[in-house]
């Protein structure tokens, strides 16, 4: 067959098959999202055509659709910010990836809930394809956040300890695993719930040294815990409100609390004396901004992905428990993603 | 006269004359403080006998007597932590000061509300005697705090701006003057009060660019202010509660808020989004700890004192408005020091 015709036929078949979960205005995801056909053209010089393999539903994806997130894409937009795909075709000047490579988005806003898309080469980053689709699809937000939280704020050595709340979140589970691989003791706060023993066992299985409830955190017996491990130099906060103030009380002199989420939708409150006399430092972390600041020079990002994939291969970093959904069932997947205490990551499988 | 006898007579006359404001237990200053005779011996090898010239009453002195401060001296104790004295006599091995030198305490807890005392050489620091007694007596807490707040947290260049609350405090006035000498724009928040126009004029005379009330801080018109100067990279907080949260809103992306006091006796409350998406950092400063961390190597302390005295000589740093009291009247002086809105520093004059 004439090669040009084959190309056109392939494009036509691609065009026919491509679908994505699209929103034209902000609102409740169940109201504004629709599965629809997407036009996928052949990549131009610096573009890459990617067949998506899998994409998770993260809380920030939902906030973005609701219009409450700090960064909002132009509308209409395809939902989803994280995921993994396989390179199907590259433009003439593309040098960083080849057909068959696995790629993940570098930045938020790519729109990953789709079967296929054409993206700028600069928007993508190669990942090894010898790791599972589930971990590759969920590597760039939660494990990356956990990696940075443990790397960038306090110098932690084996035997040191850290404390975190929302320990069952995607970031929380990654923190447990990465800290354990570094020999760092983790004190993990969770909300009380019906299946607490199961949850505690699961976090212990990941390497958690101590798992305590918000209620236990407030009890005087907490001091007994610090007979067995040093006071944490680092506190990781994804909640806000009382949970955070209580956690802060146990931080070591001169320690740092990094806030990366606000699940309780309440501010962080800190006694003046903790700042002045305990020399506690507070700051925030947003993985999207961290990556944006390194778009031009990606060495730090590459090193992080290499380190994380190395942990994955050694079995030290496993994907969160997942439910996998065909793209058609995105509405049920979104409903489950918004249900508290399900403790499973909802992942859309594209192929 | 036989020189030894002269020495003994001088010592005896010293011993007879020395008096100090002493407390034997913690409580309300008016209840627990007494003026009493103090024994002053001749200095041993590494000691220095100092005749105190003047000592201010600072809020932390009162908290220390009440027993609520983070650092408490052994009891019985002489009140006061700041002041200036003149060296009367030195031990054989003393090398850093000579009779006639002016000295100030390096650390809190010296007990400066006294006419005379014998101290370890290491507890004292020489200051030039060509500055006024009032500024020398009040140099080591407020101007030093202001100097560090402006030096250690953000790199500030001429044209940059800072924002502070409690701008009429001792630290606040020093911040205005030091920042002005560096070409930094100051936005100064004060509480509304009967003599507001006078206060505003006085702060403007010190170099304040903008003086606004807590009420004005909450108004939408605040955005007009930022048409004339950049958003502050540094916020200095001595209040807590709502004042602090409001001030924080105006901080530039990535800016730092340093808390050095908590006049409102309320915690600092910060929205999670300010930490994550505005990358705001919070920390605390305590000048006592800062100096303690540099007891062994005082180069940084010496440079700060040199710089501050240089500002004093150039008329760029003036002492706060003072009331001077003889030591006998310490109770009235303390009463005035605890009266709100008096806007004057109470100083005990010893000689």
Instruction: Tell me how far apart the alpha carbons of residues B296 and B108 are, in angstroms, rounded to a whole number.
Output: 16
- B245, B260, B282 ranked by CB distance to A281: nearest: B282
CB contact under 8 A, A261 and B280: no
Residue of A nearest to B271 (CA): A267
- B2 — pLDDT class (breaks 50, 70, 90): very low
Q: Please identify which of the residues A69, A147, A153, A260 carries the catalytic annotation.
A: A69
- B240, B271, B279 ranked by CB distance to A272: nearest: B240
Q: How close B185 gets to chain A, by Cα (Å)? A: 25
- B269, B283, B285 ranked by CB distance to A269: nearest: B269
* DSSP state letters, B327-350: GGGHHHHHHHHTSTT---EEEEE-
- B351 — pLDDT class (breaks 50, 70, 90): confident
CB contact under 8 A, B272 and A279: no
The DSSP H or E segment spanning B124 is strand B124-127
Q: How close B349 gets to chain A, by Cα (Å)? A: 30
Task: Tell me phi and psi for residue B22, to 5 degrees.
Answer: -115, 145
Instruction: Tell me how far apart the alpha carbons of residues B266 and A270 are, in angstroms, rounded to a whole number.
Output: 9
What was the pLDDT predicted at A3?
43
Say if residue B167's pLDDT is above 60: yes
Range name among A99-103, B12-16, B33-37, B74-78 with the lowest pLDDT average: B12-16
What was the pLDDT predicted at B126?
95
CB B240 within 8 A of CB B262: yes
CB A52 within 8 A of CB A83: yes
What was the pLDDT predicted at A266?
96
Give the β-pairing of A210-213 and A185-190: parallel
What was the pLDDT predicted at A307?
97
Instruction: Tell me how far apart the alpha carbons of residues A257 and A260 are, in angstroms, rounded to a whole number.
Output: 10
Mean pLDDT value of segment A163-191: 96
Q: How close A149 gets to chain B, by Cα (Å)? A: 12
CB contact under 8 A, B267 and A271: yes
What was the pLDDT predicted at A172?
96
- B240, B275, B279 ranked by CB distance to A268: nearest: B275
The helices-and-strands tally (H runs, E runs) of chain B is 14, 17
Mean pLDDT value of segment B41-46: 94
CB contact under 8 A, B284 and A277: yes
Residue of A nearest to B286 (CA): A276
- B259, B272, B286 ranked by CB distance to A259: nearest: B272
Candidates A243, A251, A272: best to mutate against B (most CBs of B within 10 A) is A272
- B129 — pLDDT class (breaks 50, 70, 90): very high
Instruction: Tell me how far apart the alpha carbons of residues A169 and A173 are, in angstroms, rounded to a whole number.
Output: 6
CB B118 within 8 A of CB B90: no
The dihedral over CA atoms of B138, B140, B146, B150, expressed in degrees to the nearest 10, equals 150
Topology, domain B3-138+319-349: Quinone Oxidoreductase; Chain A, domain 1 (3.90.180)
Q: How close A28 gets to chain B, by Cα (Å)? A: 21
User: B248-294, pLDDT tens digit by residue?
Assistant: 999 999 999 999 999 999 999 999 999 999 999 999 999 999 999 99
Q: What percent of chain A has pLDDT over 90?
A: 88
DSSP state of A99: T
What was the pLDDT predicted at B6?
46
What was the pLDDT predicted at A15?
47
Instruction: Tell me how far apart the alpha carbons of residues A9 and A34 are, in angstroms, rounded to a whole number.
Output: 27
What was the pLDDT predicted at A299?
93
CB A164 within 8 A of CB A175: yes
CB contact under 8 A, A286 and B270: no
Residue B140 CB partners (closer than 8 Å, separation 6+)? B82, B104, B105, B125, B287
What was the pLDDT predicted at B26?
97
Instruction: Tell me how far apart the alpha carbons of residues B62 and A338 are, in angstroms, rounded to a whole number.
Output: 53
CB A162 within 8 A of CB A236: yes
Q: Shortest CA distance to A243 belongs to which of A222, A212, A264?
A: A264
Residue A289 CB partners (closer than 8 Å, separation 6+)? B277, B279
Instruction: Tell me how far apart the alpha carbons of residues B44 and B17 are, in angstroms, rounded to a whole number.
Output: 20
Instruction: Tell me how far apart the alpha carbons of residues A173 and A289 are, in angstroms, rounded to a whole number.
Output: 22
Mean pLDDT value of segment A11-32: 82
Residue of A nearest to B242 (CA): A269
* DSSP state letters, B53-86: EEEE--HHHHHHHHT-SSS-PPSSEE--S--EEE
Instruction: Tell me how far apart the alpha carbons of residues B213 and B203 are, in angstroms, rounded to a whole number.
Output: 13
Q: Shortest CA distance to A110 belongs to which of A78, A85, A147, A133?
A: A78
CB contact under 8 A, A275 and B259: yes
What was the pLDDT predicted at A257?
98
Instruction: Tell me how far apart the alpha carbons of residues B129 and B140 are, in angstroms, rounded to a whole number.
Output: 15
Say if residue B11's pLDDT is above 60: no
B277 to chain A: which residues are within 8 Å by CB?
Answer: 70, 284, 286, 289
CB B163 within 8 A of CB B236: yes
- How many pairs of residues across A and B have Cβ atoms under 8 Å apart? 98
CB contact under 8 A, B70 and A273: yes
User: B193-241, pLDDT tens digit by residue?
Assistant: 888 999 999 999 999 999 999 999 999 999 999 999 999 999 999 999 9
Interface of B with A (CB under 8 A): 70, 240, 245, 259-262, 266-286, 289
Say if residue A13's pLDDT is above 90: no
Q: In whole numbers, what is the pLDDT of chain A averaged over residues?
A: 93
Catalytic residue positions of B?
Answer: 69
User: A54-86, pLDDT tens digit by residue?
Assistant: 999 999 999 999 999 988 999 999 999 999 999
The DSSP H or E segment spanning B324 is strand B322-326
Q: How close B69 gets to chain A, by Cα (Å)? A: 10
Say if residue A42's pLDDT is above 70: yes
What was the pLDDT predicted at A290?
96
A283 to chain B: which residues are within 8 Å by CB?
Answer: 275, 279-282
A275 to chain B: which residues are within 8 Å by CB?
Answer: 259, 268, 282-284
A274 to chain B: which residues are within 8 Å by CB?
Answer: 284
A273 to chain B: which residues are within 8 Å by CB?
Answer: 70, 262
- A259, A274, A276 ranked by CB distance to B276: nearest: A259
Say if residue A2's pLDDT is above 60: no
What was the pLDDT predicted at B296?
85
**Measured CA angle at B72 (ends B67, B74), to 5 deg:** 110
Cα B87 to Cα A222, B315, B324: the distances in Å are: 51, 26, 22
User: A195-204, pLDDT tens digit by residue?
Assistant: 899 999 999 9
* DSSP state letters, A125-142: EEE-SSS-HHHHHTSTTH
Cite the DSSP H helix spans in B195-322. 196-206, 214-217, 222-225, 242-249, 272-276, 287-292, 299-313
Secondary structure (3-state) at B222: helix
CB B147 within 8 A of CB B331: no
What was the pLDDT predicted at A159?
96
Residue of A nearest to B239 (CA): A272
Instruction: Tell me how far apart the alpha carbons of residues B132 and B137 are, in angstroms, rounded to a whole number.
Output: 9
Instruction: Tell me how far apart the alpha carbons of residues A208 and A198 are, in angstroms, rounded to a whole number.
Output: 13
Residue A69 annotated as catalytic: yes
Candidates B275, B280, B282, B290: best to mutate against A (most CBs of A within 10 A) is B275
| β-sheet bridge partners, residue B33 | B23
What was the pLDDT predicted at B302?
94
Q: Shortest CA distance to B330 belongs to which of B99, B54, B12?
A: B54
Range name among A294-298, B104-108, B211-215, B279-283 with the lowest pLDDT average: A294-298
Q: Residues of CATH 3.40.50.720 domain(s) within chain A?
A: 142-288
Q: In whole numbers, what is the pLDDT of chain B averaged over residues?
A: 93
Residue A10 CB partners (closer than 8 Å, separation 6+)? none
CATH H superfamily, domain A142-288: NAD(P)-binding Rossmann-like Domain (3.40.50.720)
Q: What percent of chain A has pLDDT over 70?
A: 95
Q: How close A132 gets to chain B, by Cα (Å)? A: 31
Q: How close A256 gets to chain B, by Cα (Å)? A: 9
Secondary structure (3-state) at A56: strand
What was the pLDDT predicted at A342?
72
Give the length of chain A: 351
Secondary structure (3-state) at B91: coil
What radius of gyration do chain A's Cα atoms show?
A: 22
Instruction: Tell me how far apart the alpha carbons of residues A109 and A78 are, in angstroms, rounded to a whole number.
Output: 8
CB B160 within 8 A of CB B233: yes
- B267, B273, B276 ranked by CB distance to A272: nearest: B267
A267 to chain B: which residues are within 8 Å by CB?
Answer: 245, 269-272
The whole-angstrom distance between residue A273's C-alpha and the CA centroid of its chain comes to 34
- B343 — pLDDT class (breaks 50, 70, 90): confident
Q: Residues of CATH 3.90.180.10 domain(s) within chain B?
A: 3-138+319-349
Range name among A13-27, A163-177, B119-133, B297-311 with the lowest pLDDT average: A13-27
Candidates A257, A261, A276: best to mutate against B (most CBs of B within 10 A) is A276
Please, what's the largest Cα pairwise distance for chain A? 79
What was the pLDDT predicted at B7?
44
The DSSP H or E segment spanning B163 is strand B161-164
């Amino acid at each position: 067959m004439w090669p040009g015709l084959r190309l056109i036929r392939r494009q036509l078949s691609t065009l026919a098959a491509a679908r994505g979960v699209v929103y034209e205005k902000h609102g409740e995801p169940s109201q504004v999202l629709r599965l629809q056909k997407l036009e996928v053209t052949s990549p131009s010089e610096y573009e890459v055509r990617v067949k998506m393999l899998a994409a998770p539903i993260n809380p920030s994806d939902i906030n973005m659709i609701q219009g409450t997130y700090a960064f909002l894409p132009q509308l209409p937009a395809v939902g989803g910010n994280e995921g993994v795909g396989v390179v199907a075709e590259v433009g003439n000047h593309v040098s960083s990836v080849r057909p068959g490579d696995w790629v993940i988005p570098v930045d938020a806003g790519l729109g990953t809930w789709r079967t296929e898309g054409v993206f700028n080469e600069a928007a993508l980053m190669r990942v090894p394809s010898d790791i599972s689709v589930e971990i590759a699809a969920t590597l760039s937000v939660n494990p990356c956040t956990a990696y940075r939280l443990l790397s960038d704020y306090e110098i932690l050595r084996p035997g040191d300890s850290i404390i975190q709340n929302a320990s069952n979140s995607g970031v929380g589970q990654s923190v447990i695993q990465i800290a354990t691989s570094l020999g760092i003791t983790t004190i993990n706060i969770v909300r009380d719930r019906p299946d607490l023993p199961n949850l505690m066992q699961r976090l212990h299985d990941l390497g958690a040294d101590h798992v305590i409830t918000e209620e236990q955190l407030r009890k005087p017996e907490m001091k007994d815990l610090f007979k067995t491990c040093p006071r944490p130099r680092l506190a990781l906060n994804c909640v806000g409100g009382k949970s955070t103030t209580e956690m802060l009380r146990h931080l070591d002199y001169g320690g740092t609390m990094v806030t990366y989420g606000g699940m309780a939708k309440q501010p962080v409150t800190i006694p003046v004396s903790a700042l002045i006399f305990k020399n506690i430092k507070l700051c925030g972390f947003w993985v999207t901004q961290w990556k944006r600041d390194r778009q031009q020079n990606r060495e730090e990002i590459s090193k992080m992905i290499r380190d994380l994939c190395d942990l994955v291969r050694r079995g030290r970093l496993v994907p969160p428990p997942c439910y996998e959904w065909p793209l058609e069932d995105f509405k049920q997947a979104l409903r489950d993603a918004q249900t508290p205490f399900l403790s499973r990551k909802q992942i859309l499988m594209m192929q």
